[in-house]
Every structure is written in C-alpha cells, then in structure tokens.
C-alpha cells in the first residue's frame, strides 16, 4: 500500500513556521491581494552567477487528485496535486509544466491545490484554490489564484479562512468552477463550515453565498482533536448546466455537492439566488463527484460512504434526469458486493451517454475502472476474473518509462505488478478525443490514447503520462565523492540512487522497502558503504549497501524501534550510529547485526558523523550539542545555547575533522547559522544570517581554500537558496523569485565533483538541481550589498535571449547577460528594441522601462556586480499580436553586445 504525501510530511514545515496570519471572525468579503502571488522582482534577487534549475527526474511520486481539461480548446489541460502545486499539459513535449514554483517560504501552504478551474469562454484564464491545511499546521489562510496567461503569472485573492489541499476529502471536486456562460462568475466550495462562496468579478473579490443552506457536516474522524480528521469537509463540488444560460448571461441551473450523507446534492434554478435540496436523492453516502452530460441532460454522481482518499468501504453510482427529476441507481455492481467507494467520474463529450468511473478505494487486489456506453444501464470493467485468482484485462500497462511503478514486486494472483493504481479519484476523458483518457493515482498520472478499443473488444494501452510532474517530499540528500552523484531519501516512495539526473531511476531502494526514508548517510572515505533508515509498518527499518546504494540488505534493529529517525556512518564505514523513533540512540560496529545503546545522549537526538575521524560522532537535541570520540559508545554534552526549538540540521565538513555547521531554530527563539571548528565544544553564530534551516557543502571554487557552502536561509531580509565560496564571509542568492518551491528546509547539499551544483529538497516539488553558469568556479562570490552603477564603457557583453513559453497573445522569455570584458560590472542596464508590437507586462530579477518598442532592463540589488566571465539573468512575460520576433541587437551601457 502506498499513500500520497501524508500530513506529517508538511507538519515538519508547519512546526518550523510558527509565525503566521491569525484571523478572528469571518469577514464578509475576501481580500484582493493584487500582485502578491505573481513572480515579480523583489528587493533581493539573482546574484552575478545565474543558475539554471531542473528536477532530478523521478516522474510523479505523489497523489494527483484532480485533472481538468478545458472544454473549448484542444490539448489544454491542468493537473493539481495535494502538496506539490499545479501543472499545465504541454502537448508538444507530452509533459507537464509546473505553475506554482514561485510560492514562497512564508506562504508554503499555497503549494497545496484544493481545486482548479479552466475558463471555457476565455481559455487563457485559469484559477486555483490553494492552501494545504485547515488547522494550525498551515500558518496562512487560503487563496484563490487567478491567471490570464495560463499560469505563467498569477494574482491572488486571499480568503478569510483556510482551505486544505492535503486534508481528508481532497479527491472530491472540483470545488472551484467558472460559469461557462458568464465567466466573470465563479463559485468556490469551502470546508470547515464556511459554506459556498462566489465571485462576480473574475476572482478578484469573493463573498459568501448566504442563501446557501448547508455548509456540510461530515468529518473523517470527529474524535480527532488535531483539527485534521475532525474538520468538516464542507462544500465539495460545483457543476453548471450550461444549457440554462446563454453567452453573457449567468447560468441558471447550478448543482452543488455537500459533505452531508443525508443531504448531499443541492440545486439552484435562478442563478444562485435560491437553493434547495433535490428531492429523491440517494442518502447514506457522500457524492464525491457530480458531472453533467449536457447532451443527455443526465447528472451523474459517484458516491462513497467516506470522504477519501484512503478510506471507503461501500459505494454507489446514481443518475439524475434533470428534465424529469427521476433518480436511478446505475451502480455497476450491487452495493452488497462493494468493498470500496466510487469517485473518479467523467463523461465522453463526443459520445453522449458514454461515461467512466473508478473504485478509488479498492486497494486490493487493484483499483477498478468501469465504463458504460448506455448512460449507466450496463457497464464493463477494466479487468475481471476468469477463474479466481486469474484475471483477464481489457488493457495493457507499460511502465517502461517509469519502471519503479512496479515497486519491484512479484505478487501472487489476483494482484499484479504494476497495478492500475490506488486513490484513483480523478479520471477524465479528453472532451475533444474519445480515445484519450487520463487518471491520477497516489503515485502518478496514467493515460491512454486508444481508449475506444475497450468497446470493440480489444485492449487499450495504458502508460504513465506524468513526465515533468515531480511531486515527492524530500527528507534527506547525499552526494558522495564517487559513485552515483546523488542519493535521496523520500517520503512515501523510499528514495533512489540517481546515476543520471535526467533519467528516471529504474527502481527505488528495496531490501528493505521503506514507506518513507527519513535519513541516509555514506562513509566519507569509503562511499560504497551506505546506510538508510525509515518508516514502515513493521521491521526492518534499516538497510545497508556496500556498493554505493545499488544493492541493499536488511539489518536487525534494537527493540522498541517504531520509525526511522536519523542515522550516521563512520567516515571509514567501520560503524554506524542510529537514533531511531521509539528507542534510544544505538551504535553498531557491523552492519546492524547487533546494537548497543549509546550513553550520554538523549533519545530522539539528531546524529551525524565526523567526515574525517571515524571514531567521532555528533548529536544534537533541544539546544545542546553532543560529541562521541569512541565510535558512538558514549557521548558528552558540549556546546549549549543553540536553538532549543524548530527545525535544526547540522553537517560536518568533508575531509576536515571537527568543522561543523548548524542551521535551524524558530522565529520565537534562536534562529540562524552557527559554525564550530573545535568539534562542537563551541559555536559562533553568523551575524548576517537571520534564519537558516539546512546547510551542505560542495566543490570549492577555483583557487578557493574552502569548500562551497550552501544554505536554505533568510539573508538580507530575503528568503532563498544561498551560496558562499569564502566560508560564509559573503553570500549570494542563487535562486530567484520564480524558483522558490515553498518549503526547502529539510536538506541541501552541493556536489563534491561539480562546482556550483546544488541539490535542494522540497516538500512536494521533488529534488531541485541547480547548475551554475560559472562553470570554471573562478573567483569568490560578490558582496550583495553594493548599490548598482553604470558599467564601464569598455566592458564587453554577450546576450542570450530565449523564449521559454508561448500562448495566444503572450509569451515568456529569459535573458542572460554574460560579462565578456576584462572589468567587472558594478551595476548594468541592458537595452533593446522589439521588432514588433511586443510589450513587457511583468519582469523579475530586473526592473524595466518601455517606451514604444524600446526596453531598458536594470539590475536589482543583488545582481548588479558581474565579474568577468560571469553572468546575470532575468525573465519577463509579455503580450504580442501574432507571433513575436526576437530582438536582433542589445546594448549594455551604450556598448553593443554579442548576441548568442
């Protein structure tokens, strides 16, 4: 059984971010926060060394609860995830493009997407309801984001309440809907008893529909006191009957699904002025989806006895005739024979009366997909038994593009490997192509392009359609000096040995298979030796490898272990120290054959090893640092006064004994970055680092005496990923406002073999890989505090101008300016003229002025200094009529630049 990123995956982030927005009472109108969500320039941005960012490819890895096709433009589709943002489908590359990487640290909850809506009348418009938790774990209120350029840029209307993309019931929906006849009208179903909300100005402002009579009453677990399981799941979907309106006038017939087992469907026949419960509706169930086939006038409901996405033991499917008012049970199997609920639901817009549904909570032996071509009168299944336990499939499933989806399993029938999936709460037939269907699971997006073979007696082919959608929660990262460049510890799918950052790994770590790997380490001078620990339903919770993570064997464990905790390997691989959940800190001198309790260190301490002395290990808990000089047998308390609360991570410098960097804390207490050069006896705080949450090391710059240090931190009042090549004397922000990925506090490490390369953890956007444009690593990082000035007239320059995205009426471009001269820029202004009617609408990492066709882009605070051979970069979105032409010439400080 595999689950999507669980609540605890982001709870760690929530605990580290205790400061947030506190709202008392419920204002009548939501606040419009113009521009707050856009990827705009900030006061601190890119430094002289421009970075490019990509994911270490895994493809998928988390729950995709929603897929939305636009019904007026072919190939325009979106996907939402519970903790990893939203994506737009790129038909040319047959991959997904992330849309919410700009979400920042303080609003990390906005990476959870509760619902998506694509505007039928104006396809450039897309809306997203965002927020991760409705309880205290998420410090900020939810918001409705709106974009008029298909997600290239966004504006936000902050709501007066929280919404939960990672809450129970998140597979129901869609909660957000655009009126197909009058697209300035939108509805949003809210949780927590907050009712139904409406916007009449295209999502700029929102107000409660006070006439709506039922805010819902169903909670997954009313006895839960955390605010998670006991939250009222509220209003769960909104569906318009477009036949009851005309272009420019509001749709009159609107259907709303409510988390109330006795009153689950309501209707308005007067454009939302009044509402009533539909008589004769099924009771005892929650309607997960409500989809109307406008060609037949049938409203279909998929129902379950619970809100999902994990639970559900009984279900039904019902059809409502909107003309006659008749209800019909069209369930594909008798209620008594279900052991699952129904959720995923779609109608074929090209073939009236054709619909599909999923048994979302059928965990064993597999999920089930149902199809009807006669409005639910009869159904066929994606698979069925021949003679138990053997089964016949109407499909073939090819996961060769994402081979780890088999989990390396070899199950006995009736199970198969790979499975069709689990948590299959979203299934959509392409409204323009009856052969294409996509559905989301707890780990991927599957799809087919020959679906109608189902009806002709053939087999339809299912493959992963998930490229570009990276949704893993990252707990730990390691980059050894030899072997694979990267080893990862991930939530829910364990982790991988990444031998090629641009290729999907063949298989996650096995022997043992861990639901979530919480910590891993390698022996610094013998990197073939690797250890990992993590969570699973039963022992073992630890695995060892002697070939750099290519193969693994299970270790024994101390009694009482309930979870992974943290683990450290001696520098030469001669022993290991493990601080598991549920038991004291222990050590072993073998590969986990026997364990001895360590003394002098509290249970639950975070442990690490010295990277030179194999007898030296370190520990930290609650503000106190601990040191062992006998292989972890005994520890002694050393430095105190370190952060006593919050998320704390520390690392020892490779190849140097006793050099330790510690990052962490909380806004309510000590928070920042500390360094010890005496094995933890004392620490010195970096005064210029206001906050820091993770620290790691990479290859030193050319000529630099110290390894490159990377941190996820707040420096100069700005949150970001920072780099220092001079042991923390100066820092450079290497990400930009368009690449923030919400919360990045779990782990960071440089690559010891490639200067400038850094691996950054996220909580839902996978592993981010940053590559420096400064490939030779020359020089040290600039002082970020210098005011920009005009560059010297003799300074040479080279410009690379790349259009990275285009859509009807608009485009996005990235510009890189490289100093090819002999003198450093101390501030710069880049000028060009557009050859057509292109107009900049928004720019990040630079400010701009435009007069007619002429544009001048000026550096912002931290990217004004550009050393010879280094680069600065910025990006922008713009409008254009027809197809724009790239500028042919650029000038810097009055001097012509070479155009790459």
- The catalytic residue positions are 82, 492
The answer to whether the bond into 418 is cis (omega within 30° of 0) is yes
> To which residue do tokens 């490639």 refer?
754
DSSP state of 99: S
Torsion of CA 244, 250, 252, 253, to 10 degrees: 80
Taking every pair of Cα atoms in the chain, the longest distance, rounded to a whole number of angstroms, is 83
Number of H helices, E strands in the chain: 1, 71
Q: Which are the contacts of 884, defined by CB distance < 8 A and separation ≥ 6?
A: 803, 811, 834, 836, 838, 878
> To which residue do tokens 């060609």 refer?
295
According to DSSP, the β-strands at 563-569 and 553-554 are unpaired
Q: How far is C-alpha 799 from the geometric centre of its chain's CA atoms?
A: 33
Q: State both tokens at 711.
A: 């941190």
Asked if 749 and 477 touch (Cβ cutoff 8 Å), the reply is yes
The values of phi and psi at residue 246, to 5°, are -140, 165
> To which residue do tokens 């927590």 refer?
192
Question: DSSP for 633-693?
Answer: SB-EE----S--SSEEEEEEPTTSTT-EEEEEE-TTS-EEEEEESSTTS--EE-TTEEEEE
Task: Burial-class residue 91 by CB neighbours within 10 Å (0-12, 13-18, 19+).
Answer: exposed
> Which residues is 523 bridged to in the sheet?
526
The secondary element (H helix, E strand) that includes residue 720 is strand 718-724
Q: Which among 148, 103, 142 has a CA at the least distance from the CA of 123?
A: 148
According to DSSP, the β-strands at 898-899 and 797-807 are parallel
The values of phi and psi at residue 13, to 5°, are -65, -40
SS3 per-residue string spanning 151-166:
CCCCEEEECCCCCCCC
> Which residues is 761 bridged to in the sheet?
none
Give the chain's length. Answer: 900
| C-alpha to C-alpha distance for 544 and 525, rounded to whole angstroms | 16
| C-alpha to C-alpha distance for 876 and 855, rounded to whole angstroms | 12
Give the number of C-alpha atoms closer than 13 A to the C-alpha of residue 580, restricted to the C-beta side. Answer: 26
Asked if 726 and 774 touch (Cβ cutoff 8 Å), the reply is no
According to DSSP, the β-strands at 854-859 and 846-851 are antiparallel
> Which residues is 256 bridged to in the sheet?
238, 266
Asked if 285 and 264 touch (Cβ cutoff 8 Å), the reply is yes
Q: Which among 389, 384, 372 has a CA at the least distance from the CA of 330?
A: 372
3-state secondary structure of 630: coil
| C-alpha to C-alpha distance for 201 and 182, rounded to whole angstroms | 10
Q: Which among 478, 464, 421 has a CA at the least distance from the CA of 56?
A: 478
> To which residue do tokens 């400038």 refer?
756
| C-alpha to C-alpha distance for 408 and 400, rounded to whole angstroms | 13
| C-alpha to C-alpha distance for 812 and 800, rounded to whole angstroms | 14
> To which residue do tokens 């299934």 refer?
427
| C-alpha to C-alpha distance for 663 and 815, rounded to whole angstroms | 34
């Amino acid at each position: 059984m595999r689950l999507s990123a669980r609540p605890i995956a982001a709870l760690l982030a929530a605990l580290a971010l205790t400061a947030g927005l506190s709202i008392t009472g419920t204002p009548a109108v939501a606040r419009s926060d113009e521009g707050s969500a856009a990827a705009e320039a900030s006061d601190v941005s890119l430094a002289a060394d421009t970075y490019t960012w990509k994911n270490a490819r895994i493809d998928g890895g988390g729950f995709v609860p929603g897929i939305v096709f636009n019904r007026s433009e072919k190939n325009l589709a979106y996907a939402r995830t519970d903790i990893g943002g939203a994506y737009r489908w790129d038909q040319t590359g047959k991959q997904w493009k992330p849309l919410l990487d700009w979400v920042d640290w303080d609003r990390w909850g906005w990476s959870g997407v509760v619902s998506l809506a694509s505007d039928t009348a104006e396809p450039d418009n897309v809306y997203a309801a965002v927020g991760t938790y409705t309880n205290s774990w998420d410090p900020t209120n939810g918001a409705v984001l709106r974009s008029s350029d298909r997600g290239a840029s966004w504006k936000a209307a902050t709501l007066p309440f929280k919404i939960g993309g990672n809450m129970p019931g998140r597979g129901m929906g869609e909660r957000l809907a655009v009126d197909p006849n009058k697209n300035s009208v939108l509805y949003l179903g809210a949780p927590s008893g907050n009712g139904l909300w409406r916007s009449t100005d295209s999502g700029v402002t929102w107000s409660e529909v006070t006439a709506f009579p039922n805010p819902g009453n169903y909670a997954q677990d009313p006895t839960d006191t955390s605010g998670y399981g006991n939250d009222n799941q509220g209003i769960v979907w909104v569906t318009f009957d477009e036949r009851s309106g005309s272009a420019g006038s509001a749709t009159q017939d609107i259907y709303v699904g409510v988390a109330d087992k006795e009153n689950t469907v309501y209707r308005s026949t007067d454009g939302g002025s009044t509402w009533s419960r539909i008589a004769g509706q099924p009771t005892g169930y929650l309607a997960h989806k409500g989809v109307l086939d406008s060609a037949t006038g049938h409203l279909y409901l998929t129902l379950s006895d619970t809100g999902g996405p994990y639970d559900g033991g009984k279900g039904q499917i019902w059809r409502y005739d909107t003309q006659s008012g008749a209800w019909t049970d069209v369930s594909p199997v008798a209620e008594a024979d279900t052991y699952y609920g129904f959720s995923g639901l779609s109608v074929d817009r090209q073939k009236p009366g054709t619909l599909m549904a999923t048994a979302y909570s059928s965990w064993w032996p597999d999920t089930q997909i149902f199809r009807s071509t006669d409005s639910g009168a009869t159904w066929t299944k994606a698979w069925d038994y021949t003679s138990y336990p053997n089964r016949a499939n109407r499909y073939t499933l090819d996961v060769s593009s994402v081979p780890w989806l088999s989990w390396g399993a070899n199950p006995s029938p009736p199970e198969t490997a790979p499975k069709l999936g689990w948590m299959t709460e979203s299934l959509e037939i392409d409204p323009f192509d009856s052969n294409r269907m996509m559905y989301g699971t707890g780990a991927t997006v599957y799809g087919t392009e020959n679906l109608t073979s189902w009806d002709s007696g053939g087999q339809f082919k299912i493959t992963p359609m998930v490229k570009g959608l990276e949704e893993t929660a990252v707990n730990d990262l390691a980059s050894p000096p030899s072997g694979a460049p990267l080893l990862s510890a991930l939530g829910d799918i364990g982790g991988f040995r990444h031998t090629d950052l641009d290729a999907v790994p063949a298989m996650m770590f096995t022997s043992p298979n861990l639901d979530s790997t919480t910590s891993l380490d390698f022996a610094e001078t013998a990197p073939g030796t690797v250890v990992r620990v993590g969570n699973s339903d039963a022992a073992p919770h630890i695995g060892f490898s002697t070939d750099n993570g290519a193969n693994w064997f299970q270790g024994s464990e101390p009694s009482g272990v309930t979870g992974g905790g943290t683990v450290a390997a001696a520098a030469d691989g001669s022993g290991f120290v493990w601080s598991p959940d549920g038991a004291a800190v222990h050590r072993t001198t073998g590969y986990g054959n026997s364990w001895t309790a360590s003394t002098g260190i509290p249970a639950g301490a975070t442990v690490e090893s010295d990277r030179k002395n194999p007898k030296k290990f370190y520990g930290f808990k609650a503000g106190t640092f601990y040191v062992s000089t006998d292989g972890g047998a005994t520890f002694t308390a050393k430095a105190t006064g370190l952060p006593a609360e919050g998320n704390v991570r520390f690392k020892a410098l490779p190849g140097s004994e006793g050099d330790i960097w510690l990052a962490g804390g909380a806004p309510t207490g000590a928070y920042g970055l500390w360094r010890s050069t005496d094995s933890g006896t004392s620490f010195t705080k970096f005064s210029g680092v206001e906050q820091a949450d993770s620290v790691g090391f990479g290859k030193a710059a050319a000529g630099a005496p110290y390894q490159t240090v990377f941190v996820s931190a707040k420096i100069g009042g700005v949150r970001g990923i920072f780099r220092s090549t001079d042991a923390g004397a100066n820092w450079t922000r290497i990400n930009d406002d368009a690449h923030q990925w919400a919360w990045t506090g779990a782990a960071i490490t440089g690559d010891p073999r490639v200067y400038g390369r850094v691996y950054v953890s996220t909580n839902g956007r996978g592993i981010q890989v940053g590559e420096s444009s400064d490939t030779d690593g020359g020089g040290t990082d600039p002082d970020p505090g210098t005011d920009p000035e005009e560059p010297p007239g003799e300074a040479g320059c080279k410009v690379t101008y790349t259009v990275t995205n285009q859509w009807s009426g608009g485009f996005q471009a990235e510009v890189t300016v490289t100093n090819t001269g002999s003198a450093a820029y101390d501030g710069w202004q880049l000028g060009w003229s557009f050859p057509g009617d292109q107009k900049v609408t928004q720019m990040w990492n630079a400010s701009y002025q435009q007069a007619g066709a002429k544009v001048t882009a000026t550096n912002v605070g931290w990217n004004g200094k550009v050393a010879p051979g280094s680069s600065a970069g910025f990006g922008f979105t713009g409008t254009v009529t027809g197809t724009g032409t790239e500028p042919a010439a650029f000038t810097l400080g009055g001097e012509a630049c070479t155009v790459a």
